[in-house]
Amino acid sequence: MRVGFIGLGIMGSAMAMNIHKKGFPLIVYNRTRSKAEPFAKLGVPVANSPREVAEKSDVVIDMVTDAPDVEEVLFGRDGVVYGAHPGLIVIDMSTNSPEYARYFAKRLAEYGIEFLDAPVTGGDVGARQGTLTIMVGGKREVFEKVRPVLEAMGKTIIYAGDVGNGQMLKLLNQIVVGIDMLAVAEAMALAKKAGIDMDKLFTVLSTGAANSFTVQYYMPKMMKGDYEPGFRAAHLKKDLRYALETANKLGVPLPGTALTLELYNALVTKGLGDKGTQALLKLYYELSGIKE
């Protein structure tokens, strides 16, 4: 099965590399060509356009920032649809919304292209280690056909049902991720102000009922003042916005998500959108008058 991969950012580059390591014939494309250099050095072909990726692939995976980027890759100038051929499958592994997933599926069907929405969770460490959780919406038979490719990138592969359900599961995940980060940042800010030893706080949180991925993976970074991204704050802001938009359409109040989104809005406004989600602590420290 020939695989094309579009989008070689923090997550995408690691995911594509794992596909290569599993022996799938691979071709890659990135708007900023320099990010494809590690693949070129390994002898992996680097395409000049998404169209070329589609022409030379059975499965095209995109891992880009937001729905407009997906739309550009698929339908823009030299987009995937212009390289369409019988049997082509597109897997959107970006995070956007169930509504967008259904929109992409409908438009791609006009070109005879099958579509799956398959966002992931697990952060940069999961992408590198090939242990991502992947949530997949679309036709069951299409999912089964590409399962080996998905298993090259993830440890837990969940078939969620119809198109859009993968994105819905991801948004639910992001609600918990965002609020959990909020909780850790609040606890750390109060601990700092109260003079509590952070190592002791970490021991309590990581061994008791408060334990989580955020505590285990991000809190040690926060303790060291390491705000470099495993997952960018601006991306979480985008995901929480989609979650609230979906909730509003369904009439479900999400006050915790709304508060978390506003804090990430503030973080992005302060120019910290390219930092990791753990940079929320900087905002709490500033609001509390705490110097790092």
CB-based burial label for 198 (10 Å; 0-12, 13-18, 19+): middle
170 is catalytic: yes
- Cα separation, 53 vs 47, whole angstroms: 6
Catalytic residue among 56, 170, 237, 275: 170
The structure tokens listed for 189 are: 């800010």
Catalytic (active-site) positions: 170
